Amino acid sequence: MNPWTGNLTFLICLIASIAIRIPHDKRSQETKVVKDRKGAVEKTLLGLVMAGLVVFPLLSFTPVLSFARYPMHPVAFALGLFTMLLSLWIFHRSHEDLGRNWSATLEIRESHALITNGIYQKIRHPMYTSIFLMAIGQALLLPNWLAGPATLFAFTLMFVSRLHTEEQMMLDQFGAEYEAYRQRTKRIIPGIW
Ligand code: SAH
pLDDT at 126: 98
The whole-angstrom separation of Cα 73 and Cα 11 is: 18
pLDDT at 1: 83
Question: Atom 12 (ligand 1): residue with closest C-alpha?
Answer: 106
Count CB-CB contacts under 10 A for residue 175.
Answer: 11
Which of 106, 166, 168, 185 has most ligand 1 atoms within 8 Å of CB, for mutation?
A: 166
The whole-angstrom separation of Cα 131 and Cα 69 is: 24
Q: Where are the domains of the chain?
A: 3-16+38-184
The whole-angstrom separation of Cα 184 and Cα 123 is: 9
Helix/strand/coil for 193: coil
* pLDDT values of the chain reduced to their tens digit, one per residue, 193 residues: 887 899 999 999 999 999 999 998 888 888 788 888 778 888 899 999 999 999 999 999 899 999 999 999 999 999 999 999 999 999 999 999 999 899 888 888 888 899 999 999 999 999 999 999 999 999 999 999 999 999 999 999 999 999 999 999 999 999 999 999 999 999 999 999 9
pLDDT at 103: 87
- Minimum-distance ligand 1 atom for the alpha carbon of 120: 22
pTM given for the model: 0.94
- Ligand 1: residues whose CB is within 6 Å? 94, 98, 101-103, 106-108, 114-115, 120, 125-128, 166, 170
CATH numeric code, 3-16+38-184: 1.20.120.1630
Helix/strand/coil for 36: strand
